[in-house]
Structure 1
Amino acid sequence: MDITALRNLTYGLYVVGTNDNGRPTGCIINTCFQVTSENPIVAISMNKNNYTHDIIVRHGKFSLAILAEESDTSLITTFGFQCGRDRNKYTNYDYEWQNDVPILSGIFSGHIICEVLHIADNETHDVIFARVLNTIPDNGTPMTYAYYHHVIKGKAPQNAPTYIKEENVSPEDPKPNSGKKYICEVCGYIHEGELPDDFKCPVCQAPRSCFKEI
């Protein structure tokens, strides 16, 4: 089945955060929608293999930071391609606690604080329905998934509902192969050839400093 038409469904990008026994943890998701208008309920989709998924199920609350075109793009690298199981993704970012969940500082399109109501099993993913407890407005332009792909040139992480495996991902205008190989320590992408000083990973946008020679 050709599933390329699914790429035309509209999505946004969100940092979902929660409380891991007093430590903030979170990840990037691309699926959130409003279910009801009065006393609003929203729903998010999360991969069951995601560490943040397990903590949300345990803690029962989460925050959503709606990414904006003006947001710090390093958030996508940190929260989208690293695991919170063995590192604190919030270390290099300002945040505060509200309603027992972390709220990131910076330019966003707003924040939503939610309490889990029930969870629907969907094979590899769970759809988590949650009551909106509070919202924090902001004035950033919402980052659509199309903007992420076509302007930032980002890819979907493996746990995303929209992930499509690509056989060979190469940066634009690759340098001649020097026989050297480098691996991105953030997402595992392997680059063949020299790395210019301004090189960024074509998968997760991590800088050259995140690559090591193999």
Structure 2
Amino acid sequence: MNLTPLQKITYGLYVVGCYSDDRPVGCIINTCFQVTSENPVLAISLNKNNFTLDAIRRNPRFSLSILAEDTDPSIIGKFGFCSSRDNDKYSGYGYKDLDGAPAVNGKFCGRLILDAFDFVDCGTHIIVIGRLKATYEGEGRPMTYSYYHEVIKGSAPKNAPTYREEPASETQPAAKRVYKCDVCGYTVECDGELPADFTCPICGVDRSHFKEV
């Protein structure tokens, strides 16, 4: 089956925030949609292996921060490519408590506060259905998933519902060399070797994680 048409479906990017006991945890997601208009209900998708899903099952209140095109891209790396099981994802950013849910500091288009009330098993992922409890306005243009891929040059983590194994890249022209981050998939072109002090603008890892493609 040709899965390419699935890439034409419009997605956004969001930070989910919740508490695990008293500790703020969270992750990046790209699947969120509104189900009802009156007394609004929304749905998000989380991988079964996601620690944030475990936290929402225990504490159903969570926040959704809607990424803007000019949101600090390192937030995507921090919240999207490591686990809250053994990482403090809010370190370096801080957070605010919004109606009982943590929301990472930064520029976002808006914030939503929801209470999860149902969980639908879809195999590898769980659809979390939540009722909207509060909203907070933000600023900026929402970051679409296509913008993330085409402009920021990021890729989907393996836990994302849209993850696809990437085919081997075609040989690049000799004038340019292309390097790819083995953590988040960010690619960069340069005329020669990457500088020794180069760090990934998405996930923050050093030069050793970049492989030529």
TM-score (norm 1): 0.85
C-alpha spacing 1:169/1:9, structure 2 compared with 1 (3 Å): same
Q: Secondary structure at the match of 2:164?
A: coil
Aligned counterpart, 1:113: 113
Aligned counterpart, 2:177: 174
Deviations 1:32-88 (A, max 9, x none): 000111110000011101111111111111100000001111100100111110011
Distance 1:207 1:92 in 2: 12
Q: Report if the CA contact (8 A) 1:27-1:79 is conserved.
A: yes
Distance 2:205 2:121 in 1: 39
Distance 1:187 1:36 in 2: 34
Deviations 1:177-213 (A, max 9, x none): xxxxx985x5599x9x943257455xx8334636369
C-alpha spacing 1:188/1:38, structure 2 compared with 1 (3 Å): closer
Structure 2 spans left out of the alignment, 5+ residues: none
Aligned counterpart, 1:209: 206
Shift of 1:138: 0.8
Q: Secondary structure at the match of 1:75?
A: helix
RMSD: 2.9
C-alpha spacing 1:135/1:175, structure 2 compared with 1 (3 Å): closer
Structure 1 spans left out of the alignment, 5+ residues: 177-181
Q: Does 1:43 align with 2:43?
A: yes
Aligned counterpart, 1:93: 93
Distance 1:155 1:175 in 2: 15
Q: Report if the CA contact (8 A) 1:64-1:113 is conserved.
A: yes
Q: Secondary structure at the match of 1:83?
A: coil
Amino acid aligned to 1:86: D
Distance 1:92 1:106 in 2: 11
Amino acid aligned to 1:140: G
Distance 1:49 1:158 in 2: 11
Q: Does 1:162 align with 2:162?
A: yes
Query: Percent identity at matched positions?
Result: 49
Distance 2:111 2:123 in 1: 29
C-alpha spacing 1:83/1:211, structure 2 compared with 1 (3 Å): farther
Q: Secondary structure at the match of 2:206?
A: helix
Aligned counterpart, 1:21: 21
